[in-house]
Structures are given as structure tokens and as C-alpha cells.
């Protein structure tokens, strides 16, 4: 602050007071680490052409389908994955 006697201070709050920031509470993870690892493995298989679909055994080419397969496998093994949405 300057030593000028004509200086007018608009705020009565202390100069060095820090503003309080409101933080959102930490959100819980939707997917567990085991589920993420399973999807990562499945994506690797997709990229290398090794991923096959269930009964027919056809090669999977869709990224979305690969992720769905990974989550399904993670769900079966007991990893933390949200329930499937029903239509």
C-alpha cells in the first residue's frame, strides 16, 4: 500500500487475506483399477487383430464393441463396473 495520504481504500478487508475457494467433494471412481486393466488388455488384442467375439469367433473390428467385451469380462471376474444399462 502506498504512503500517499490521499489514497482511498475501497475495501475494508485485510490486504493479505486469501480468498477461500469452494471445492467440489471428490467423486468416487465408476470403474475400478481391475476393470481398467482388463479393457486395456482387450484394446491391445483389438489393435493386434487377436480379439474374437464370443460364440461366432469372428474378429472384432469395432472399438466400442471391444470396450464392451472388456467391461463384460471385468464384470464376470468381479471387478468394480457399473451394471449394464437396460433399454
Domain definitions of the chain by residue range: 33-76
Please state, in angstroms and rounded to a whole number, the distance separating the CA atoms of residues 68 and 81: 11
Q: Which pLDDT score is estimated for 2?
A: 62
Vertex 59 angle, CA 61 and 85, to 5°: 60
- pLDDT, position 63: 96
pLDDT-derived band of residue 1, with 50, 70 and 90 as boundaries? low
pLDDT of residue 8: 73
What DSSP string describes 49-72?
T--B-TTT-PBP--HHHHHHHHHH
Q: Does the model's pTM come out above 0.85? A: no
Condensed to tens digits (0 to 9), the pLDDT of residues 43-87 reads 999 999 999 998 999 999 999 999 999 999 999 999 999 988 887
Taking CA atoms, 54 is separated from 12, 13, 61, in Å, by: 70, 67, 14
- What's the maximum distance between 2 C-alpha atoms anywhere in the chain? 87
Q: What is the pLDDT of residue 18?
A: 65
Query: 7-42, pLDDT tens digit by residue?
Result: 776 766 666 656 677 788 888 889 999 999 999 999
Amino acid at each position: 500500500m502506498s504512503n500517499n495520504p490521499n489514497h482511498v481504500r475501497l475495501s475494508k478487508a485485510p490486504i493479505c487475506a486469501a480468498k477461500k475457494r469452494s471445492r467440489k467433494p471428490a467423486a468416487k471412481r465408476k470403474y475400478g483399477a481391475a476393470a481398467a486393466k482388463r479393457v486395456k488388455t482387450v484394446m491391445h488384442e483389438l489393435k493386434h487383430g487377436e480379439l474374437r467375439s464370443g460364440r461366432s469367433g469372428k474378429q472384432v473390428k469395432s472399438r466400442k464393441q471391444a470396450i464392451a467385451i472388456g467391461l463384460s469380462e471385468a464384470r464376470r471376474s468381479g471387478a468394480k463396473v457399473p451394471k449394464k444399462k437396460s433399454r
